[in-house]
């Protein structure tokens, strides 16, 4: 502004643009623009006082030491600033403002110049942040960050990884781990590993809103994932979610993740997940823990060892199991599905929603807080765990009455019945289990003695089938003497004895 003020003083004394430009070491175009603005504001009158620098800067849009240079970038709307801003506050359209400037003042600029001027005036104010202070052992901040792409040396598998980072807000000491996913189980396990690494628990854990921790993000009342809530109860810390889409509220772990990605990950080779985590642990205990921190100007590991570790909450005597929880609907086949594995539940709950409590070894199924099933944990996709008592009665009966059971029951009926059952099971073309089960149920209707007699008659005629024996019982033929040379069964029901003859018949 000093240079512009000197140019205006010379112009007030009547010097030409050429003389002022030569004296000030600027171009004549620059002096001409300064003259135009000064004339529009009546600053060239020798008797009128010059305004202060702040008022003058508003018209010349100066910044730093580039006053004369910036004057060349002055908006053509600047001389009409007050009118344009007032009209804009009244809601008048920009095209109408430009037309009014042309009518009243002979303005020749474009409507886009008015747009640019208003856009520069409406620039948002800079956002101010507040540096937060935390008591010793009060808080830890947690976040995930993208990790390296690892090629396993032994299996050749290539997989994506993530960094889990927990940073203590006071000492800036941190725990980090390379993981393969951001699942609930991984989230819980990493918390457990971090607390064991620190040998203590902070009173609060500030997190973002990942699905593995918060099932419903909300500014006022977020919904915490059930397994994570149980972890917090077990370790006696308070979950402190950030407001939605406001990661700056956990800036210390955000910086920690950037530090890990920018200083640990580059120029390193990782042959497996275990190899990567071994290097990461050594790096935290060495370079990262003993660096001079940019904010505290102290070494994080020293601050942690000397002060913060002793003020963390102690670990529980027995680590909580902290199972994960999931909801699943019981399908019509009597099974729920979790991680592509199937677990049975009582058939009466079909189409109901059940809670699954998943631990490393066991899966428990609950319906309205009632435990309805327990299964061993399955890991291979497509496998199934089925409890026979969960099946409908007819299905239970079918699966319980296996071939061995049928042979036992047939023996109890009689030798002829046993022989018929064995002959049916000996057929390799068709599964005869249902036929044998139906045959044995005939004893409930006709008695064991009649069933065994009917089986004997069917064997004598070479027709040991369910249909033949049932007809023998229904027609009472089992109670008549067996006449080998005069078969009494109708031809359509005789599969083996219809063409049977005695040797004496063939010798006539």
Average pLDDT over residues 234-246: 90
Q: What percent of the chain has pLDDT over 90?
A: 45
Residue 316 lies in a domain: no
Q: Which residue has the tokens 């977020």?
A: 222
Number of structural domains in the chain: 4
* Residue of 428, 398, 425 lying closest to 410 (CA atoms): 425
**Tokens matching residue 274:** 């275990």
Tens-digit pLDDT profile for residues 412-430: 999 999 999 988 888 766 7
Higher pLDDT: 2 or 358? It is 358
CB atoms near residue 73 (< 10 Å)? 11
The residue out of 364, 392, 420 marking a domain boundary is 392
Q: Is the overall model pTM greater than 0.75, yes or no?
A: no
Q: Per DSSP, which regions of 180-320 are E strands?
A: 204-207, 214-216, 223-224, 238-241
Place of tokens 């005939």: 442
User: How far is residue 341's CA from residue 363's CA, in Å, rounded to a whole number?
Assistant: 11
Are 165 and 269 part of one and the same domain?
yes
Contacting residues for 414 by C-beta, under 8 A, at least 6 apart: 448, 449, 451, 452, 455
130 domain-assigned: no
The per-residue pLDDT for range 162-219, each reduced to its tens digit, is 999 999 999 999 999 999 999 999 999 999 999 999 999 999 999 988 989 998 888 8
On the CB side of 131, CA atoms within 13 Å amount to 3
Q: How far apart are CA 393 and CA 151, in angstroms?
A: 52
Within-domain flag for 318? no
Residue that finishes a domain, picked among 256, 281, 311:
311
In angstroms, the CA 427 to CA 421 distance is 10
Q: Are 212 and 228 in contact (CB under 8 A)?
A: yes
Question: What are the C-alpha distances in Å from 256 to residues 163, 250, 460?
Answer: 11, 10, 89
Within this chain, do residues 257 and 351 fall inside the same structural domain, yes or no? no
At 100, list the tokens: 């009014």
Tens of pLDDT, residues 367-389? 988 999 999 999 999 999 999 88
CA separation for the pair 5, 2 (Å, rounded)? 5
> Which range marks the domain in which residue 376 is found?
324-392
Half-sphere exposure in the Cβ direction for 14 (13 Å, CA) = 0
Q: Rounded to whole angstroms, what are the CA distances from 495 to 394, 425, 463, 464?
A: 31, 17, 6, 9
Q: Determine the Cα–Cα distance for residues 148 and 280; give it in Å rounded to an integer.
A: 12
The residue out of 353, 370, 392 marking a domain boundary is 392
Q: Is residue 388 part of a domain?
A: yes
CB 71 within 8 A of CB 38: no
State whether 302 and 333 are in the same domain.
no
Contact 232, 238 (CB under 8 A): yes
Measured in degrees and rounded to the nearest 5, phi and psi for residue 12 equal: -65, -30
Residue 193 CB-density burial (10 A; 0-12 exposed, 13-18 middle, 19+ buried): middle
Indicate if 445 and 469 belong to the same structural domain: yes
Q: pLDDT tens, 28-73?
A: 888 898 898 888 888 888 888 888 888 888 777 643 334 444 444 5
Strands 139-146 and 150-151: unpaired
The answer to whether residues 288 and 357 belong to one domain is no
Average pLDDT of the segment spanning 318-341:
90
Q: List pLDDT tens digits, range 115-172.
A: 888 887 776 666 777 778 899 999 999 999 999 999 998 889 999 999 999 999 999 9
């Amino acid at each position: 502004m000093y240079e512009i003020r000197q140019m205006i003083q010379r112009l007030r004394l009547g010097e030409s643009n050429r003389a002022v430009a030569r004296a000030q070491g600027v171009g004549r175009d620059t002096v001409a623009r300064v003259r135009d603005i000064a004339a529009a504001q009546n600053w060239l009158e020798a008797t009128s006082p010059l305004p202060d620098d702040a008022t003058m800067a508003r018209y010349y849009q100066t910044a730093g030491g580039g006053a004369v240079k910036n004057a060349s970038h002055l908006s053509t709307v600047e001389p009409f600033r007050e009118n344009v801003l007032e009209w804009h506050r009244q809601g008048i359209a920009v095209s109408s403002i430009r037309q009014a400037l042309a009518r009243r003042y002979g303005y020749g600029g474009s409507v886009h110049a008015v747009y640019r001027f208003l856009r520069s005036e409406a620039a948002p104010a800079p956002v101010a942040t507040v540096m937060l202070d935390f008591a010793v052992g009060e808080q830890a901040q947690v976040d995930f960050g993208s990790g390296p792409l690892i090629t396993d040396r032994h299996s050749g598998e290539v997989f994506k990884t993530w960094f889990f980072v927990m940073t203590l807000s006071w000492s800036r000491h941190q725990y980090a781990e390379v993981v393969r996913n951001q699942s609930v189980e991984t989230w819980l396990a990493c918390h457990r590993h971090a607390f064991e690494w620190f040998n203590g628990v902070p009173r609060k854990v500030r997190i973002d809103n990942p699905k593995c921790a918060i099932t419903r993000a909300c500014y006022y009342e977020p919904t915490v994932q059930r397994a994570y809530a149980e972890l917090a109860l077990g370790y006696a810390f308070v979950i402190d979610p950030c407001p939605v889409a406001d990661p700056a509220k956990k800036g210390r772990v955000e910086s920690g993740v950037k530090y890990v990605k920018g200083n640990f990950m580059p120029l390193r080779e990782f042959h497996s997940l275990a190899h990567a985590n071994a290097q990461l642990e050594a790096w935290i205990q060495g370079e990262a823990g003993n660096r001079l921190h940019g904010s505290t100007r102290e070494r994080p590991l020293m601050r942690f060892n000397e002060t913060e570790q002793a003020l963390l909450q102690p670990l529980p005597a027995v680590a909580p199991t902290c199972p994960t929880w999931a909801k699943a609907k019981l399908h019509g086949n009597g099974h729920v599905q979790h991680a592509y594995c199937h677990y049975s539940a009582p058939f009466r709950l079909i189409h109901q929603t059940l809670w699954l409590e998943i631990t490393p070894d066991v899966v428990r199924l609950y319906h309205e807080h009632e435990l309805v099933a327990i299964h061993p944990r399955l890991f291979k996709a497509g496998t199934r765990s089925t409890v026979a008592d969960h099946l409908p009665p007819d299905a239970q009966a079918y699966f319980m009455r296996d071939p061995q059971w049928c042979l036992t029951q047939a023996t109890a009926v009689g030798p002829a019945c046993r022989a018929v059952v064995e002959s049916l099971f000996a057929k390799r073309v068709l599964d005869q289990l249902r036929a044998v089960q139906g045959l044995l149920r005939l004893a409930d209707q006709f008695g064991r003695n009649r069933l065994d007699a009917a089986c004997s008659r069917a064997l004598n005629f070479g027709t040991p089938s369910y249909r033949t024996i049932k007809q023998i019982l229904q027609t009472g033929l089992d109670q008549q003497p067996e006449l080998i040379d005069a078969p009494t069964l109708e031809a359509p029901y005789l599969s083996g004895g219809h063409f049977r003859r005695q040797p004496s018949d063939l010798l006539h």
